[in-house]
Amino acid sequence: MLNIILFLPFIAAIIIAIFCHQKNGIAKIACLSICILTFCFILSIGLSLKDIISTVSISRPWIQSLGVTYQLALDGFSLIMILVSSFIAMMSVMVAWKSIERWDSFGPLLLMSLSGLLGVFLARDLLLFYVFWEIMLIPLYFMLTQWGSQKSAYAATRFLIYTVSASLFMLIGILCLYIQVGRETGVYSFAFNHLLITPIINNSLWIFLALLVGFAVKVPLFPLHLWAPETYKNAHPAVTILLSGAMANAGVYGILRICTYVSPLSLATLSHTMMGLSAIGAIYTGLIAYQQNNLRSVAAYSSISHMNLAVMAIFAMQLQAINGSILQLVAHALSITGIFALVAMLSVRGFDGDLNKMGGLFKPMPKLGAMLLFFFVASAGLPGLGNFASEILILVGSYQSSPLWASLAALSIVISIAYFLRCYERAMLGPYAAPSSNNENQQQAKLSDLSWREMMPLSLLVVAVLWLGISPDTFLQPLHHAVNHIIDHHFHALRGG
């Protein structure tokens, strides 16, 4: 079951790359079909399992001499993550449908990255987890270099430097943890249920920090976020959707799934420091977003701000906060995907996101304007929509651990309302600004409202955001056991049990 989920996109990527060379029409249809099939298969699993505790489907020896196992498992946390990831990948393909030409290259890279991402959420062996982590990231570099603005190559280089550095920190942390636990127990194994459950006595803080840095860069957590704004801005919007809507979730997942277990004492020691850093980061990037004159940059800094809130909630180590953190991953993925999808649609119409060259676009494009407003207010936390439920849980839970940092973090939500409204006013209201074109017919074509093909992915996102806001328990129920296990392990370890 899990092997099908994991390797379907990977095998399809190889087949498309070999047999669909220079057959872009077939390649993109095949790519979308595989994404839809993967999503539907994961959804069917979720609907068929009422009470997900932990189902280890596969556990086989891989490299026995090193204690490496091929072990995959599914719990509620993993289910929510792979469901969201496959849905975002499907949205990315729909958004790129007309603007990407070389689908015989783009499609396989996207599917390979999706396969790696699914592996990250399903792996239960730390070395296997690292392998999938690299499979997830490597295709993204090539997607960044080949598709995007003229500055995308520079952004890709910056992304590569930060990614390689973070991966090195992660690998060092994994190997040190493996050696340390092996010395203390006499058993050398990379299995989660051995490495992460066994309390380590020596060097726990340094191992914890190495792993934390490795994951924090991907979130991206302030002040390790410097690669993200330019990358999000200059990448093709379909690639940015993958980066901000799906890949960033892997960073938070790593902190929750691995760091919280490695050294509960280190987490408790750094709790207030990391909550403060996250709260300051959320406010700082929100203020930077307010100053931006490009729609892409506003969305980029907004994404960073919201992800910092998710990390703050983890270090609060409180039930409501962690539930809110995971719910934030889902809500943020949906809303930021909607925003960058509209960025892509505006780009097709001759607008590169420069707010100084936009204005009054609601009149010729009311459907696009309405959709942009919806995703702006959703991301800002309008009651009844997904982000509101997650942010309420984050703030209420975090307040119980640190009233100061939770109160400051709440300011980032107020700031988000300000920069989204300012951005919307400049882009959609005010004096009308037409895209540059010498031909009046071309101008009319560029200013055409959303087509049915463009409305399809946006409508799916709207339904998902409304569903998450109206019935968050649908997503919280599968998380019950996983979240309780994280908290119980943390406090049990602190008590010396």
Instruction: Give the per-residue pLDDT at 116.
Output: 94
| pLDDT tens for each residue of 285-307 | 999 999 999 999 999 999 999 99
Q: pTM for this one?
A: 0.91
Is residue 42 pLDDT above 50, yes or no?
A: yes
Structure-block tokens of residue 213: 């840095």
Q: How far apart are CA 490 and CA 493, in angstroms?
A: 5
Mean pLDDT value across residues 95-118: 90
Q: Express as a percent the part of the chain with pLDDT over 90.
A: 47
| pLDDT tens for each residue of 345-362 | 998 888 888 888 888 888
Closest of 93, 59, 312 to residue 194, by C-alpha: 59
Mean pLDDT value across residues 44-66: 73
Decide if 77 contacts 483 (C-beta within 8 A): yes
Q: Which of 3-7, 91-95, 406-410, 443-447 has the lowest mean pLDDT?
A: 443-447
Is residue 148 pLDDT above 70, yes or no?
A: yes
Mean pLDDT value across residues 83-111: 90
Give long-range contacts, CB 8 A cutoff, 24+ apart: 440-447.
446/348, 446/349, 446/350, 447/349, 447/361, 447/364, 447/365
| pLDDT tens for each residue of 420-479 | 999 999 888 877 666 555 444 444 546 788 888 889 999 999 999 999 999 888 888 888
Burial environment of residue 41 by CB neighbours within 10 A (0 to 12, 13 to 18, 19 or more): middle
Beta strand 55-63 with 68-74 is antiparallel
Q: How far apart are CA 227 and CA 224, in angstroms?
A: 8
Instruction: Give the per-residue pLDDT at 433.
Output: 62
Amino acid at 428: M
Amino acid at 473: D
Q: pLDDT category, 315, cuts 50, 70, 90? A: very high
